Amino acid sequence: MDTESLFIPGKKKPDQPIEPQKKDLWLDPSLAFAPLTYGFKLDAAQGRFDLRYGKLQENAEKLREGECDISMISPLDYAKKKETWQIIPNICVASYSGVRHVQLYFKKGLNRISNIIISPGLTVETVLLKILMQEKFQLSPEYTVISGDLDTMLAAGDAALVTGDISLDYYASRRNRLDLNEEWLDLTGFPFVYAFWAGRELTVSAEDIRSIYNSYTLGLKNLENIAKDYAREHSQTWDFYHDYLANNLSYTFNEKEKEGLNEFYHYAFFYGYIEFIPELHFFGI
């Protein structure tokens, strides 16, 4: 303790710089989301965030429990919120084409599917599958929850829903497959939105949002680097992953994406997968 400053009039202890408190930022490690998070890995936010990784459902739970202020979540989790979350505008993960990472692999043909194997948890991809089966194909298969690789799943049923990075590994070698994003486009004419950033209304600053935009901008400029880094430890060539990022996915959250998202919510509500159709609330920028 500086006792001298207590007794000498006018002498003050120099102010110590206050370190800004970092916020936990929950990310999904899947390749589809890498362009949004690339800048954070380069510390483009200059230490603003502590990066945490989890699947979209886990991330939404962290936001719901108040363990973070900003999180990457799925549209399904946004519809299940019990409080006011706001969406960071202009950025999402969507697709206007075949998407590769949401595939229904089957044995013989769609008209012979009576049992579909799905992974544990009600994900946005599972709800998309069930909507398409009912609305587009007029099928009502049974759904069985099994964890395992594709061969294990197909041994237990007529078809299997495989999502995320693991689906990219199977994509080139398995021809009996249905791309759910293509089927959604055929049904609705709209892109499908898989994820977006959301946060608590009063705890996300303009600087936080600016950091997220900066990370996204860096990611778009480095799709080739992202693909090459990913290919070093995965089964496909880097140009396969680059084509996936550059041509199968879209990262803008404009009117078409909003219309597609609302269309999904109407179907999900109609078939009983969500309790209400949520309004889309966006942060002002």
Q: What are phi and psi of 133, to 5 degrees?
A: -60, -40
For the chain, give the mean pLDDT: 89
Does residue 39 register a pLDDT over 60? Answer: yes
Residue 135: the pLDDT is: 97
Residue 20: the pLDDT is: 55
Residue 121: the pLDDT is: 81
Does residue 172 register a pLDDT over 90? Answer: no
pLDDT in tens, 270-281: 999 999 999 999
Residue 119: the pLDDT is: 87
Residue 8: the pLDDT is: 43
List the chain domain ranges: 23-96+191-270, 102-188
Does residue 1 register a pLDDT over 50? Answer: no
pLDDT in tens, 108-138: 888 889 999 998 887 999 999 999 999 999 9
Residue 13: the pLDDT is: 45
Q: Which of 72, 68, 67 is nearest to 27 (CA)?
A: 72
What CA–CA distance (Å, rounded) separates 103 from 162?
6
User: If pLDDT is split at 50, 70 and 90, which confidence band does 31 have?
Assistant: very high
Does residue 18 register a pLDDT over 70? Answer: no
Does residue 30 register a pLDDT over 90? Answer: yes
| DSSP, residue by residue, 115-147 | EEEE-SS--HHHHHHHHHHHHTS----EEEE--
Residue 171: the pLDDT is: 83
Residue 44: the pLDDT is: 52
Architecture of the 102-188 domain: 3-Layer(aba) Sandwich (3.40)
User: If pLDDT is split at 50, 70 and 90, which confidence band does 235 have?
Assistant: confident
User: If pLDDT is split at 50, 70 and 90, which confidence band does 38 have?
Assistant: very high
In this structure, which topology does domain 23-96+191-270 adopt according to CATH?
D-Maltodextrin-Binding Protein; domain 2 (3.40.190)
Question: Residue 220 contacts by C-beta under 8 Å, 6 or more apart in sequence?
Answer: 35, 251
Question: First-to-last CA distance in the chain?
Answer: 45
What CA–CA distance (Å, rounded) separates 276 from 26?
26
Amino acid (one-letter) located at 154: L
CATH fold match for the domains 23-96+191-270 and 102-188: yes
